[in-house]
Amino acid sequence: MKKSRFSPKQIVSILSEFQNGKKASEISRERGVSEQTLYNWRKKYGGMDASELKLLNELQEENTRLKKMYAELSLDHELAKEIIAKKL
């Protein structure tokens, strides 16, 4: 997963500017992000503060790690089943 250029605190501050009435085109020009990114952030992180956003990102990283672990263990289990089936 690609790491964001912006910290959770920065994303929250950008979204607060956006919610306070500043135009998306102005913010995107000042911060160097596309307008679509602003709308995606608003959809994904709307109403969160920096600590909640950081926790969400940590949970997503942990979830990705656990999914990889599960996939590896699942492959090992299938391989073991095939080996046992060949021996019988």
Per-residue pLDDT of the chain (88 residues; tens, 9 = 90+): 566 788 888 888 898 888 888 999 999 999 999 999 999 988 888 888 888 888 988 999 999 999 999 999 999 999 999 999 988 7
pTM of the complete model: 0.59
Q: What was the pLDDT predicted at 3? A: 66
Contacts of 11 (CB under 8 A, 6+ apart): 4, 41, 45, 53
What pLDDT, on the 0 to 100 scale, is given for residue 2? 64
Q: What's the CATH code, domain 8-87?
A: 1.10.10
What residue spans define the domains of the chain?
8-87
